[in-house]
Amino acid sequence: MGKIQPFQHRLYKYNEICYPKDSFEASKLAMAVMVKIKAYGGTVSLEHYGQLRTVAKILLFPLIDSSKPVVVPMETGLGKSTMIEEFLRLKLDDDFNNFGAIVVKERIKDILALEEKLKGKARAVYSFYPDHCLQGYKEYQRIACRNCDADCRMKKAVSEQKNYPVLLMSSERFRLEMLYGRHLRDFLAFCDKDGIEHKRNILIIDEKPPLAINKPVNRKDIRKAYEVIRYIQPGSELYEEAQHLMSHLKKLNTVLNDLDFTSPFLSALEPCFKLSDKFKSFFEEAYTENDVEILECIASLIRKGGILRAEETKIGLEAQAITTDYIEFAKLDGLKTIIFDATAKYDAEYKEGQFAILDLPQIRNYDNLTIYNCPVNLSRTNIFSKKSSARFDFKKLFQDLEGIKDKEVFILTYQKLVNTIKKELMDTMFYKNNRVYIDHFNNIKGKNIYANCTVMLNIGINHKGDEYYLAKAVSVSNKQDFDDLSSADDKAVVLAEKVKRVIESDLFTEMIQNFCRTALRKSTNEQVQIYSFIGEPVLLELLTTYFPNAKIETWYPEEFYKHYLTHGSKRNKKVLQLGEFLKTQFSQKSIITKKEVREALGYTDQDTLANHLKIGYVKNLMKKMNIEEKYHHLQKRQV
């Protein structure tokens, strides 16, 4: 059986994206990026330089089809952020009077740093940043911000950006503009120092942009929206619209009052439903909480339907409806759009036919990476359930890793587990002998602060739930995916296959992005070790495909794993007993019959022992002790 291949989109050759053309300008840009990479201590091969020139030409030259965003899957560490910076610098120096751009980055800190580097030629627009709040708020307070008289940077930036050729925007602000705003139409023009208006003619997105939007809505959200609009009086011009919306809110509330769903699919209540701008403005004024976009989420459920799920909360099970929205780049009216996303070719969120993903071969071989994988299921369900949580002793895990010294270590885990990890870590030699950083899933996109970490401990798998992935599969499906299918059963089969693809793609691409937050992101030969807990063989197979020359070894942290087996089933305890018996016996002997093993450990039949000898933990132990299995006995190999 061949290797499992990751899902992959149709890829476009350079001459399908841009008209074949070369120029001194492209070489100049590629050379500037190469010089910067080398200054950072990286290396640039001929193949790497060739990719830099290809990407430079895509940024500089007109596209054959400007209605379709071009996605550049340049690997982490090859200089995509440096390329964006140098491109802006080149165009601002050579074509200052006519050039304008919008650049989207994940983190506000990064757009502010780029704003400073561009020295008065760029303005950053973002939603909230505590360092710039003149009232000292550490978290966003929508009503307080709206009513605040202070002239802070965040407020001034929206009007001032019109005087700068380059607009820098946070990914969150971009998502809100694309989903609920005017699709950047308020940001497409700027004025030069003489007051002459120019167009910003290129949109550059660093890192994967928001695509499928799958937000949960519960009865509490519906009640909050209902409480705001029910006071609209009969004399108001919004009265009829409010009454119409309230009738839909009552229907949604009824659906979410029942936890016994016969189907996970919530049908659209009114396919053409749309809120008026005046109604949305009223709601923004009257609603006092931060999550004002809840109104648009409810409107999406009315218009498109969604996916139902029962979610465990602090007060018990709660019914939720998940939206199935998708950000349509086609609404950008031909604005040249370039997206840099290292894992795009394997990411099922990019709708087929709506993006041109550049055929850019992988050139890094990752022979400096070793992945040590323990096949223990550290899913959210296992770790946080009362039934199985006692099996995981993380203090023992850190004691097993005490051989690691003088390293920068990055620990990534679930948000709910962070405090437990910190508590179990503090008194260990592993913590004292290394510089350790801890972060949680869904919080590290775009972060570069772990780029010096040569050791990573990945505790958990960020599976987001079957219903979430079903919602995402619906979001990324085109209507034509189902047009030729007549029966509901056929549609169910197609959707099931799409869900499987979405799950594998989501876990695989996120894992690569997470691993590449470490020193792997630097284009050097520095050795990187990643300790993981991946129980799904398919994911391991996919990782071997993406990291072709990496070493992937099975790893059983001894004390952690013994504790895991001790607190498991009778079978687990028997496996542990077998392992301890083999260690003791082979410290004194070189051969043991299987009959001796059965009698000593109370095995009642040959098949059970045979099965236990095939378990990964026992096979790994036997391999380390140079024990081979014969027909009637176990024997220590002569080294």
Q: pLDDT for 267-326, tens place per residue?
A: 999 999 999 999 999 998 999 888 889 999 999 999 999 999 998 877 778 999 999 999
| Residue listed under structure tokens 């503009």 | 177
Residue 138 parent element (H or E): none
Confidence at residue 133, expressed as pLDDT on a 0 to 100 scale = 79
CB 532 within 8 A of CB 375: no
Q: Are residues 106 and 182 in the same domain?
A: yes
**Is residue 3 domain-resident?**
no
Q: Are residues 251 and 347 in the same domain?
A: no
Mean pLDDT of 598-616: 92
| Amino acid occupying residue 476 | V
Confidence at residue 2, expressed as pLDDT on a 0 to 100 scale = 46
Residue 400 CA neighbour count, 13 Å, CB half:
17
| Amino acid occupying residue 445 | K
Burial 150-175 (b: 16+ CB within 10 A, else e): eeebbbebeeebeebbbbbbbbbbbb
3-state secondary structure at position 63: strand
Confidence at residue 522, expressed as pLDDT on a 0 to 100 scale = 84
| Residue listed under structure tokens 């990286």 | 42
Q: pLDDT for 325-362, tens place per residue?
A: 999 888 887 799 999 999 999 999 999 889 999 999 99
Q: List C-alpha distances in Å: 238 to 233, 280, 323, 501.
A: 8, 10, 25, 44
Q: Which residues contact 377 (CB under 8 A, 6 or more apart)?
A: 533, 535
The larger pLDDT score, comparing residue 143 to residue 300, is at 300
| Other CB atoms within 10 A of residue 133 CB | 20
Crossing angle of helices 594-601 and 570-586, in 10° steps, is 130
| Residue listed under structure tokens 């398919």 | 538
Question: Residue 624 burial by CB count (10 A; 0-12/13-18/19+): exposed, middle or buried?
Answer: exposed
Q: Are residues 106 and 125 in the same domain?
A: yes
Q: How far apart are CA 174 and CA 178, in angstroms?
A: 6
CB 446 within 8 A of CB 106: yes
Q: Are residues 530 and 443 in the same domain?
A: yes
Mean pLDDT of 183-191: 91
Q: What is the DSSP pairing of strand 316-322 with strand 306-313?
A: antiparallel
User: What are the φ and ψ backbone dihedral angles of 186, each rounded to 5 degrees?
Assistant: -80, -5
CB 175 within 8 A of CB 214: no
Q: Are residues 374 and 514 in the same domain?
A: yes
Mean pLDDT of 143-152: 79
**Is residue 172 domain-resident?**
yes
User: What are the φ and ψ backbone dihedral angles of 302, each rounded to 5 degrees?
Assistant: -65, -40
pLDDT greater than 70 at residue 3: no
Residue 617 parent element (H or E): helix 616-624
**Is residue 513 domain-resident?**
yes
Q: Which domain holds residue 319?
A: 216-323
Q: Are residues 412 and 314 in the same domain?
A: no
Q: List C-alpha distances in Å: 126 to 103, 107, 129, 152, 211.
A: 12, 10, 8, 12, 19
pLDDT greater than 90 at residue 564: yes
**Is residue 564 domain-resident?**
no
The beta strands (E) that lie in 296-368 are given as: 306-313, 316-322, 325-326, 336-340, 356-358
Confidence at residue 321, expressed as pLDDT on a 0 to 100 scale = 97
**Is residue 1 domain-resident?**
no
Domain count, the chain: 4
**Is residue 280 domain-resident?**
yes
Q: Are residues 510 and 589 in the same domain?
A: no
pLDDT band at 154 (very low <50, low <70, confident <90, very high): confident
| Amino acid occupying residue 215 | K
Q: How far apart are CA 43 and CA 37, in angstroms?
A: 7
Q: How far apart are CA 116 and CA 151, in angstroms?
A: 20
Mean pLDDT of 60-79: 93
Q: Which residues contact 304 (CB under 8 A, 6 or more apart)?
A: 268, 271, 323, 324, 325
Q: Are residues 379 and 350 in the same domain?
A: no
Query: What's the 3-state SS for 74-124?
Result: CCCCCCHHHHHHHHHHHHHHHCCCCCCEEEEECCHHHHHHHHHHCCCCEEE
Q: Are residues 497 and 419 in the same domain?
A: yes
Q: List C-alpha distances in Å: 607 to 272, 604, 610, 613, 614.
A: 63, 9, 5, 10, 11
pLDDT greater than 50 at residue 507: yes
End-to-end CA distance of the chain: 33
CB 328 within 8 A of CB 320: no
Q: What is the DSSP pairing of strand 265-266 with strand 306-313?
A: antiparallel
- Closest Cα to residue 215, out of 176, 162, 160? 176
pLDDT greater than 60 at residue 135: yes
pLDDT greater than 90 at residue 553: yes
Phi and psi based region of residue 74 (left: phi greater than 0; alpha: psi -120 to 50; beta: remaining):
beta
DSSP summary character for residue 161: G
What percent of the chain lies above the pLDDT cut of 90?
Answer: 70
What percent of the chain lies above the pLDDT cut of 70?
Answer: 97
**Is residue 364 domain-resident?**
no
Q: Are residues 127 and 257 in the same domain?
A: no
Mean pLDDT of 89-114: 90
Confidence at residue 7, expressed as pLDDT on a 0 to 100 scale = 75
Q: How far apart are CA 233 and CA 56, in angstroms?
A: 59
Residue 452 CA neighbour count, 13 Å, CB half:
10
Domain-ending residue, one of 557, 588, 605: 557
In 477-615, which residue ranges form alpha helices assigned H by DSSP?
Answer: 480-483, 488-515, 537-546, 558-566, 570-586, 594-601, 606-613
CB 492 within 8 A of CB 335: no
Residue 86 CA neighbour count, 13 Å, CB half:
22
Q: How far apart are CA 330 and CA 558, in angstroms?
A: 54
Task: State both tokens at 132.
Answer: 């710039």
Q: How far apart are CA 335 and CA 174, in angstroms?
A: 15
In 118-164, which residue ranges form alpha helices assigned H by DSSP?
Answer: 142-147, 153-160
- Closest Cα to residue 346, out of 366, 326, 360? 360
Task: State both tokens at 351.
Answer: 């709708």
CATH of the domain at 100: 3.40.50.300
| Other CB atoms within 10 A of residue 401 CB | 21
**Is residue 255 domain-resident?**
yes
Mean pLDDT of 96-112: 90
Domain-ending residue, one of 557, 582, 616: 557
Domain-ending residue, one of 515, 533, 557: 557
Mean pLDDT of 250-263: 89
Q: Are residues 193 and 236 in the same domain?
A: no
Mean pLDDT over all residues of the chain?
91
Q: Which residues contact 42 (CB under 8 A, 6 or more apart)?
A: 77, 79, 522, 523, 524
Q: Are residues 223 and 171 in the same domain?
A: no
Q: What is the DSSP pairing of strand 216-218 with strand 316-322?
A: antiparallel
Confidence at residue 258, expressed as pLDDT on a 0 to 100 scale = 85
In 201-287, which residue ranges form alpha helices assigned H by DSSP?
Answer: 219-229, 239-256, 277-286
Confidence at residue 19, expressed as pLDDT on a 0 to 100 scale = 85
Any idea what the Cα angle at residue 470 is, between residues 460 and 266, rounded to 5°? 135
Mean pLDDT of 593-597: 92
Task: State both tokens at 432.
Answer: 């004292």
